[in-house]
Amino acid sequence: MFPAVTRAFLLSSMTPVCRSGVTVRRYCMKNPTKLRVSEAFLDAQVGEKVRIQGWVRSFRPQKQNLFLHVNDGSSLKSLQVIAPAAMNDPLLGFGCAVEVRGILKKSPHSKQPVELEAEQIWVIGECNPVDFPFKIKERHSLEYIRQFLHLRCRTNAFSSLLRIRSEATAAVHSYFKNNGFLLVHTPTITSNDCEGAGELFQVEPPGTTFANEGSFFSVPVYLTVSGQLHLEVMSGAFPRVYTFGPTFRAENSQSRRHLAEFFMVEAEISFTESIEDLTKVWKSAFGAAASDFTIISAYIFLSPLHLKDTLDDMLRKSFPVITYTEAIDILKRSSETFTFPTDWGCDLMTEHEKFLVKHCGNIPVFVTDYPHDLKPFYARDNQDHPKHTAAAVDLLVPGVGELSGGSLREERLDLLRSRLGEYLDLRRFGSVPHGGFGLGFERYLQCILGVDNIKDVIPFPRFSHSCLL
């Protein structure tokens, strides 16, 4: 049933027999119910014979009994297993993979509702605790476990982060589905530079160049920086669309808030001429996962009570809305010394964004009406003078700065005609006023969890000079 290296430890008193007293083969018996550890805590199977599979998170042999805590990733809590000392073996220890069969019973201890009284233990995969980089009873920092990308999912801290990431992903999809948005799978390979910043990873097969007529796509192609232009195509037929997938930026940065590969939630809404329409959807989407802390608190490893208070406070309040011009005035009036300039027309840097969030009460804040020249060609021209601005908006959040950006789109053909050629067909045939936004999913997780480094909220971080696994 298991590989040859597997050890089986069986209580001699548990030899299976039929009522007649005749020994029967294993396939005649009813298999114990297989439970995940999270299911074992529901008490539904108390008193029954069950089996669990997982990894040993702690191991304590005593004179008469063994005490193990087994975890299978389905819960922050581990299930305590009690076994006779006769089941001890050198292969059984911290980090090994096991299957345990026994009776699930109510626990006499208040800190754990149930425990498993073992009748059989199989060691499925051994683990040398000396070589294993994570040690029992030690609380390792996120910086330390980041060195072991292939093993860090075994830790409480990172497994909690991954469970929350999964729940937040489901909550985002649920929000958009429940609010009438159509999911569009936008392409990963594209021929456009949507953001216009030139931070693109170019794609080409080995041994070819784009100058060759025989190149694979016949045109230069890149890994996508945004699905927005493809959503704009779809917004010509569907009033509400969104996408949620990987995006790529060839930005040579190793900061705490930048990745070369990350996930973006992007949405496009047709028949709107109001930035307020965007910010309402934006805030609702922002709170979709964060608001259900009943689920998150079961998975969290990092100060759940503090995070719950912080999130509740953020979501209970209205997010302030200020213009870029007001933001510049706030920065100029402050006594803070900034590294980067704060003149009108300058882009807001991380230090400016974090100061503005703090100034507004340390809650998320929308900044609107940026200088026209700072935003892409498709941002709607406000046609205001003498300060020329675009109907664009960024969401700034505590601890991160800019979380997402969006704008109303320029649907007026005459204004676009002088700025772009190929983009015009999207406006020529049945165009409507529309707008949209993109939200960096990893920065969102940084914000709701209070995690300092973006590399700790994604399973396998990619950034300049680093692509492990």
Matching residue, tokens 């100061």: 355
Q: Evaluate if residue 181 carries a pLDDT over 70.
A: yes
pLDDT attached to residue 209: 62
pLDDT attached to residue 238: 95
Percent of all residues in the chain with a pLDDT value above 70, rounded to a whole number: 84
7-125 — its CATH code? 2.40.50.140
d(CA 390, CA 382): 5
Q: Evaluate if residue 194 carries a pLDDT over 80.
A: no
Of 7-11, 334-338, 344-348, where does mean pLDDT reach its minimum?
Answer: 7-11
Q: What residues does each domain of the chain span?
A: 7-125, 152-456
**The domain over range 152-456 is classified in CATH as 3.40.1440.10:** no
With CA atoms as reference, report the closest residue to 282 among 398, 410, 434, 395. 395
pLDDT attached to residue 214: 61
Question: Cα angle at 306 between 302 and 308, to 5 degrees?
Answer: 95
Per residue in 227-263, pLDDT (tens digit) is 998 999 999 899 999 999 999 999 888 888 889 999 9
pLDDT attached to residue 89: 85
Q: What is the mean pLDDT of the chain?
A: 83
d(CA 188, CA 406): 20
With CA atoms as reference, report the closest residue to 333 among 306, 307, 303, 356. 356
3-state DSSP helix/strand/coil percent for the chain, to nearest 5?
A: 30, 25, 45
Per residue in 23-68, pLDDT (tens digit) is 444 444 567 889 999 999 987 788 899 999 999 999 999 989 999 9
Tokens of 59: 């191991």
